[in-house]
Amino acid sequence: MHEKTSSTSSSPSSSPPTAPTESEGGREYAVDLHDVRKSYKGKVHALRGIEMKAQRGEIFGLLGPNGAGKSTLVKIMLTVVRPTRARGTILGRPIGHQATLRRVGYLPEKHRFPIYQTGRQAIEFVGAMSQVDAKTCRNKADELLDLVGMSDWGDKKVSTYSKGMLQRVGIAAAMVNDPDLVVLDEPTDGVDPVGRKDIRDVLVKIRDRGACVFLNSHLLSELEMVCDRVAILVQGEVAAQGTIEELTSASRRYEITIAGSPPDWTDHNGLSLTSLPGPLDGTSTLALPTAEANEIQDILDQLRRENRTIVSLRPVRETLEDLFMRYVHDPETGRAKAPGAIRNIQASKGGDA
């Protein structure tokens, strides 16, 4: 449990190059994690064997309740926190490979630029630390300030910035090295709705450039709008992972709202109906557990034969929030799982030692 794999304990410069791992679609995995574990003093298990993959050219959302281990996982990827155990690669190199960090951009949660820097200086400084040459840094700073809508503020001290402006400059700084992987921890924290839209547009641009955007956020609606794939982390484990389409496919159904009471039949050609109260008085809703439109045509015909008025027909699927709530609730008790990391006493019950 507590042993360190060679990929994390060996010095970065001596790590052997690893062949880029490819996804089924042929794209290189930007993040390919296996058995990532982190425990503190052997008692608190923040991460319990994370398996996660994110491809280049996609926006990957990491979500989970407070204390699920999201930030710890991100920090392990970026060498800020040392894992208890970790296998896998970041941009095709072992986790902890220092030179690879030149190709990674990062916006930490609640990041803080020194108050004596201007926005431009902050971006250029981050670029210099990523070993980007001075001329490129200057050019990129102009370009990125423009991209995040901060051109007029670039030469003002960051101490005069609002929270949203700091986030914008932080995102610009995360992109100064033209990264192949951009890790953003709560990027829209404190940003107004217009700013969020701008940031979403920026994320899409980064993705379209071929980079992987690894997004850690509490704002499920934001993630749903922009993410290609998501992973839900609960109590240090990946509870679910995939495209939103894949994760919600089981919940896809059609809902037909009709005037009056529901029909007395509950099954038609093998398709069972569930009756629900309608959205308006004097209406009923019929839920049909299928995603195929042709399967509901007979039911619509039957309803018309019974002279029922069809008020609405709509395909329905779980939202990301529904999905999230499903995974963070204990199916046995029906209550939300305890927040935070697993302690030994709980881990032994859960079979994790």
**In this complex, which beta carbon is closest to another protein, that of residue 337 or of residue 343?**
343
Closest approach of another protein to the CB of residue 344, in Å: 19
* Closest CB 82 distance from another protein, rounded Å: 6
By the criterion CB under 8 A, which residues form the site for another protein?
A: 12, 75, 78-82, 98-102, 104, 106, 108-117, 121, 125-126, 128-134, 173
Query: Please, which residue, 131 or 249, has the CB nearer to another protein?
Result: 131
CB closer to another protein out of 110 and 205: 110
Q: Closer to another protein at the Cβ: 123 or 234?
A: 123
284-290: list long-range contacts, CB under 8 Å, 24+ apart: 284/257, 284/258, 284/260, 285/255, 285/256, 285/257, 285/258, 286/255, 286/256, 286/257, 286/258, 286/262, 287/253, 287/254, 287/255, 287/316, 288/253, 288/254, 288/255, 288/256, 289/253, 290/252, 290/253, 290/254
Nearest approach in angstroms of CB 146 to another protein is 22
Nearer to another protein, 49 or 108 (CB): 108
What's the min distance (Å) between Cβ of 176 and another protein? 11
Please, which residue, 53 or 111, has the CB nearer to another protein?
111
Tell me how far apart the alpha carbons of residues 290 and 255 are, in angstroms, rounded to a whole number. 10
Q: Residue 193: is it exposed, middle or buried by C-beta count within 10 angstroms (0-12/13-18/19+)?
A: exposed
Q: State the minimum distance, in angstroms, from the CB of residue 284 to another protein.
A: 54
Q: How far is the CB of 214 from another protein (least distance, A)?
A: 12
> Closest approach of Cβ 184 to another protein, in Å?
12
Least distance to another protein, CB of residue 114, Å: 7
Smallest separation (angstroms) from another protein to the CB of 13: 9
Which of residues 117 and 283 has its CB atom nearest to another protein in the complex? 117
Taking the least distance from each CB to another protein, the nearer of 137 and 299 is: 137
- In the bound state with another protein, the residue whose beta carbon lies nearer, of 105 and 262, is 105
Query: Taking the alpha carbons of 180, 185, 190, 192 in that order, is the dihedral positive or negative?
Result: positive
